[in-house]
Amino acid sequence: MSIQWFPGHMHSTRKAILERLPEIDVVIELLDARLPGSSANPLIAELTQGKPALKLLTKQDLADPEQTARWLAHYQAQVGTNAIALDSGMAAPVRALAPACRALAPNRGGMAKPMRVLVCGIPNVGKSTLINSLRGKRAAKTGDEAGITKTEQRIVLEDDFYLYDTPGMLWPRIAIAQSGELLAASGAVGRNAYDDEEVALALLTQMLAHHPDRLRERYKLADISGFNDEAVLGEIGRKRAPLLAGGRPNLQKAAEIAIHDFRSGAWGRVTLETLEEFAAWRAQAEAADAERAAKQAARKQKKQPQRGAADAPDAAGG
């Protein structure tokens, strides 16, 4: 399954970022701590290349702390980059954000050279919650629907510290299939762009790989050691949803329950991808892209007219 979602307002966001970037000192990108690789936007990385970056792993209180520590170290090892983790409630984030940004751009500060910071990330990663916390009031709409914020906002954090908040943005083509599925599960993708059952199965596959005990505890399952994703989804349907005719589980309802339980944190602290796993997914996607490009080049070459001996230039006249 290939999940893609890049509506019109995201084109506008890309343009707005490009226009704003020349005056920006630090770029803050929010990542979902439960999927820190899949929620990192390669388009943002491309647009903001060369700018100091602060990666904020949001919802870290819903993520596996050991995996969060590994992902933080991964991003902190990148040149010109720092990374910190924030809880889903984001209590007093200004105390963490301002010093981190100032450390990345030590030559900025004071009224003559105010710090200018761009805040960006995928939809539903917690940007509106962060902005509300920074402002100390409910100034931005929040919710689990992708694409709620659609205009740029300017926030004066301190006298010499300006934040520019941009709408959530994905990228035109999600090459890593697993990332598309996890992004849909997190709520970053518009509702009409994916199938609930397929996304729930992908979600349960990762849970079985990394956190099977959480599934057993949540749905009161005796033993799931031999279960696959379809079996677990069926059990969720039997345990939590009205049965269909003939005692069959309602898989659509079970999928909705699984996705909701992940988004709400009902499964506890879970991380759906490791550094090594995401690197393998990316390598597979790059190999598939390279193979596709090679096939396209071969087809193009085959369609080109072949120059025969009769078409060769005359030796005497050219």
Three-state secondary-structure class, residue 48: coil
Q: Are 186 and 34 in contact (CB under 8 A)?
A: yes
pLDDT tens track, the chain, 318 positions: 589 998 888 988 899 899 999 999 999 999 999 999 999 999 999 999 999 999 999 999 999 999 999 999 999 999 999 999 998 766 666 678 889 999 999 999 999 999 999 999 999 998 888 888 877 754 444 444 444 444 567 888 888 999 999 889 999 999 999 999 999 999 999 999 999 999 999 999 999 999 999 999 999 998 898 899 999 999 999 999 999 999 999 999 999 999 999 999 999 999 999 999 999 999 999 999 999 999 988 888 888 776 555 555 554 444
Q: Are 200 and 259 in contact (CB under 8 A)?
A: yes
Cα distances (angstroms) measured from residue 205 to each of 175, 210, 251, 264, 272: 19, 9, 15, 19, 9
Q: List, in order of start, the domains of the chain with CATH numbers.
A: 8-165 (3.40.50.300), 195-264 (1.10.1580.10)
Q: Which helix (H) or strand (E) holds 165?
A: strand 161-165
Distance from C-alpha of 271 to C-alpha of 256, rounded to nearest angstrom:
20
Q: Which helix (H) or strand (E) holds 9?
A: helix 8-20
CA atoms within a 13 Å half-sphere pointing along the CA-CB vector of 54: 23
Distance from C-alpha of 67 to C-alpha of 39, rounded to nearest angstrom:
15
How many other CB atoms are found less than 10 A from the CB of residue 171?
A: 18
Cα distances (angstroms) measured from residue 293 to each of 110, 139, 178, 296, 302: 50, 46, 21, 5, 14
Three-state secondary-structure class, residue 155: strand
